[in-house]
Amino acid sequence: MAQRGTTIERHIFERQRATSSATGELSGLLQQIATASKIINSKVNQAGLADALGVTGEVNVQGEEVQKLDEFANSILIRCVEAGGHLCCMASEEVEELITIPDRFTTGKYVLMFDPLDGSTNIDVNISIGTIFSVHKRMTTGRNGTVADCLQRGTEQVAAGYVIYGSSTMFVYSTGEGVHGFTLDPSVGEYFLSHPNIQTPKHGKTYSVNDANCSKWVDPLQAYVNRLRSPQADGSLRSARYVGTLVADFHRTLLKGGIFMYPGEKKKPEGKLRLLYEASPMAFLAERAGGAASDGKRRILEIVPDKLHQRTPLFIGSAEDVADAVRSLG
């Protein structure tokens, strides 16, 4: 049993030692991601001083303005993992095409997909932002991985996690056995275990949705959210929270319970959030913390992707609250 004061390196190694088939490759990859997050964290913390705020003037594959920190985080993540020999390819929210491993490096058996900086619109107003990652085992053979290695069901993930750059910086991850949270001690530059084996309450009083979109929702969804706004059977009121950064809204929901949703709309039924590097890794974590994640009809983890940047509606959080949402939309 990992004790408090456990560094993330030790925790990752203990998980590796407990897994007889482990070769240390996944451990190496996770540690490289943790290192990248420390570098990103340092830049985030001084963004206002280092001319790292604002936009680059480009527009990404999502059709969104690229923030300077989006680009910085993307390049740091790629540089920290591409040489490690653990990956056959990568996919990033910020890069339209599959990211291959340069010929000068060896390749490995894993695929990494990531949102290097989540919540970009909140960067310039000093609200929590994050990084999200998902790891699969490759299915193809040969030196380089292909898009097919990325388009796997979420149930096949071997690891997933996120970093939240908030009032403190936390690294939350799972390799399938529980969800564990680590808090960065900036004075030593180490992540220490602070939230072992996170469990999401079966029900929570908080609901989280961008209310401004309600006129765009289908009627059953409008009726469902109206019910959430109304007093519960015992007369108590729920609370509404919406940060506008998936990582922050999910982190609160993971710890405290309730539901976060980014629904589809009448004219945009697929919603906004991306399946491979937002919804799927968060669904992996939600389920391993005893929660649930649905697109409104089916488990997020059961969706078979067909495009790198495909979007999906997302209802995620407490098992009972997600089930209630799915029943209401059915």
Q: Which does 210 bind (CB under 5 to 8 A by kind): Mn ion, ligand AHG, none?
A: ligand AHG
Residues 64-83 that bind ligand AHG (CB under 6 A): 64
249 binding Mn ion? (CB under 5 A) = no
Residue 208 CA to residue 244 CA, distance in Å, equals 9
Find the shortest distance in angstroms from Cβ 301 to ligand AHG. Answer: 19
82 in the Ramachandran plot: left (φ > 0), alpha (ψ -120 to 50) or beta? Answer: alpha
Of the CA atoms within 13 Å of residue 277, those in its CB half-sphere come to 23
258 binding ligand AHG? (CB under 6 A) = no
131 binding ligand AHG? (CB under 6 A) = no
Scanning 113-121, 174-182, 217-225, 317-325 for contacts with ligand AHG by CB under 6 A, the matching segment is 113-121
Neighbours of 77 (CB within 10 A): 28
245 binding ligand AHG? (CB under 6 A) = yes
31 binding ligand AHG? (CB under 6 A) = no
Among 75, 144, 210, 222, interactor with ligand AHG by CB under 6 A: 210
Residues 108-137 that bind Mn ion (CB under 5 A): 115, 117-118
Phi (first) and psi of residue 283, to 5 degrees: -65, -40
Neighbours of 45 (CB within 10 A): 13
Q: Is the dihedral of CA 34, 37, 39, 45 positive or negative?
A: negative
Q: Which does 244 bind (CB under 5 to 8 A by kind): ligand AHG, Mn ion, none?
A: ligand AHG
Among 69, 77, 193, 246, interactor with ligand AHG by CB under 6 A: 246
Residue 201 CA to residue 82 CA, distance in Å, equals 38
3-state secondary structure of 92: strand
Among 118, 149, 265, 295, interactor with ligand AHG by CB under 6 A: 118
For 56-71, b/e burial (b = at least 16 CB within 10 A) is eeeebeeeeebbbbbb
Among 36, 73, 89, 93, interactor with Mn ion by CB under 5 A: 93
85 binding ligand AHG? (CB under 6 A) = no
Residue 221 CA to residue 146 CA, distance in Å, equals 38
Among 6, 27, 92, 120, interactor with ligand AHG by CB under 6 A: 120
Binding site for ligand AHG (CB under 6 A): 64, 93, 115, 118-121, 210, 244-246, 249, 262, 272
